[in-house]
């Protein structure tokens, strides 16, 4: 390491900033946020620093830096002038007096450097490249911002509040560590993340009073994995994927997304293909209950959104009947995700004022749908799981007065780099799809909006779009 990472307590300590520009103002804001008493030494002040001065938040010496006076009693100094000789003088004087010094954008003159800071007070994350690449440091900080929710600060505050109580209740340090690991990754943390602070405190008090040595309470996370592209996962989905003990996943969950699940989590495949169910739905429901009762954190990972043709409602009904805690994380459903990546808006002022989602499953070579409600003008029809029944679907829509020339498209593995789009009409699409040798998962889109595909296409993986009129 080029620098030792430390956190310095400067609350109610005197700190000096040499310089009066915008950079000095940014450094001053950080020092004030940490509770320091800040004095500025500079012939002039920026508007930002003037505002602090008028509010009485800083003191100000309107003069050049004097090494014989300005560092007396100072706990820390930052040089932020555009004069290299002044910055060097500040650095040399501070180092001689044993005062931590930072010279902005000049690591060679620093005894400490200012990291990029992710503030989840009282939790703080400091990121630094040792001055090698400040831009890379900021990019990493931005990425961490998306992975660490604001609620981690509240979580840390509750841990501090109950720390002594836990210490009195659990004498063994090893058991205390296990207790906190379970608490900070279990239902207590999830209640905090969900904004249920009162329930979280009641839960922690109950555990301390009654269940310190009991089996951790299990929970089920019903998570939508989206249409296949890992970039379309929600932040919450990714966090739960990293903390689950067991993942029960469907066939439509892409390998790239499954790879993002915690590495040591037990994986249970519960996929369903036509006429081939690895686990019947009722068995899946009971499996989730059993795993949760064993104290496991169970990730039920579904393609798309759990509540749109995902049977998520049935699963959480069973969980509710057995009083199993659960939470639902929506995913981008195939209709919106796949249509977007195919350049087909589901509604458009000139073409469609409504949109309907239906499932195209064949049952005994029939598809029982409310055809009059579906086959309406100026309405986009999105059909899930309709590849096998595509000829019958198109025939029925034509029989219910939709024109045979109505544009229609079928998209294979939408949003992924295996995406293929076949465009035709209600009359031609079944034959075109057969010629293209498409395989599930697919999504069918019917309506005038399909005309916009060629104009609005933006995602063209590996040049494998089949555009057929």
Active site residues: 250, 272
Distances (CA, A) of 466 to 148, 230, 291, 410, 456: 41, 24, 45, 10, 15
- Tell whether 1 is in a known binding site: no
- Tell whether 414 is in a known binding site: yes
- Tell whether 334 is in a known binding site: yes
Long-range contacts of residues 174-181, Cβ cutoff 8 Å, at least 24 apart: 175/212, 179/212
- Tell whether 416 is in a known binding site: no
Q: Which residues of 381-391 are buried (b: 16+ CB within 10 A; e: fewer)?
A: bbbbbbbebbe
At which residue do the structure tokens 């990121």 appear?
Answer: 127
45 within 8 A of 20, measured Cβ to Cβ: yes
- Tell whether 73 is in a known binding site: no
- Tell whether 343 is in a known binding site: no
- Tell whether 333 is in a known binding site: yes
219 within 8 A of 327, measured Cβ to Cβ: yes
Rg (CA), the chain: 30
Residue list, annotated binding site for S-adenosyl-L-methionine = 227, 303-305, 308, 333-334, 385, 414
Residue list, annotated binding site for NAD(+) = 22-23, 43-44
């Amino acid at each position: 390491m080029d620098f030792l990472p430390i956190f310095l307590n400067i609350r109610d300590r005197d700190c000096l900033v040499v310089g009066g520009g915008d950079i000095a103002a940014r450094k001053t804001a950080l020092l004030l946020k940490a509770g320091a008493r800040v004095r500025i030494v500079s012939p002039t002040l920026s508007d930002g620093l003037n505002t602090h001065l008028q509010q009485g938040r800083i003191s100000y010496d309107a003069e050049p830096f004097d090494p014989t006076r300005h560092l007396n009693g100072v706990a820390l100094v930052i040089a932020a002038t555009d004069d290299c000789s002044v910055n060097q003088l500040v650095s040399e004087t501070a180092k001689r007096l044993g005062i931590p010094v930072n010279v902005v954008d000049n690591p060679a003159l620093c005894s400490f450097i200012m990291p990029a800071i992710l503030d989840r007070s009282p939790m703080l994350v400091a990121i630094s490249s040792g001055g090698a690449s400040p831009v890379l440091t900021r990019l990493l900080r931005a990425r961490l911002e998306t992975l660490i929710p604001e609620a981690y600060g509240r979580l840390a505050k509750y841990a501090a509040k109950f720390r002594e109580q836990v210490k009195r209740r659990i004498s063994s340090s090893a058991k205390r560590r296990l207790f906190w690991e379970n608490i900070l990754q279990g239902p207590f943390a999830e209640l905090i993340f969900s904004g249920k602070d009162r329930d979280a405190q009641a839960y922690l008090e109950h555990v301390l009073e009654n269940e310190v040595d009991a089996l951790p309470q299990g929970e089920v996370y019903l998570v939508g994995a989206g249409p296949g592209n890992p970039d379309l996962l929600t932040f919450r989905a990714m966090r739960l994927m990293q903390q689950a003990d067991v993942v029960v996943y469907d066939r439509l969950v892409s390998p790239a997304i499954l790879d993002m699940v915690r590495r040591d989590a037990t994986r249970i495949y519960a996929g369903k293909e036509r006429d081939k169910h690895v686990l019947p739905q009722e068995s899946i429901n009971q499996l989730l209950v059993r795993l949760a009762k064993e104290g496991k954190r169970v990730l039920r990972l579904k393609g798309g959104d759990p509540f749109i043709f995902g049977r998520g409602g049935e699963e959480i009904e069973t969980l509710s009947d057995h009083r199993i805690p659960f939470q639902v994380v929506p995913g981008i459903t195939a209709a919106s995700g796949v249509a977007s990546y195919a350049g087909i808006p589901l509604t458009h002022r000139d073409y469609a004022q409504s949109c309907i989602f239906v499932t195209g499953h064949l049952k005994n070579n029939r598809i029982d749908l409310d055809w009059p409600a579906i086959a309406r003008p100026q309405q986009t029809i999105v059909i899930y799981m309709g590849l096998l029944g595509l000829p019958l679907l198109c025939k029925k829509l034509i029989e219910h007065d939709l024109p045979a020339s109505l544009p229609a498209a079928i998209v294979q593995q939408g949003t992924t780099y295996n995406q293929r789009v076949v465009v035709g009409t209600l009359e031609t699409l079944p034959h075109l799809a057969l010629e293209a040798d498409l395989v599930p998962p697919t999504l069918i889109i019917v309506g005038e909006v399909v005309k916009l595909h060629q104009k609005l296409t933006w995602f063209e993986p590996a040049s494998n779009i089949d555009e057929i009129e």
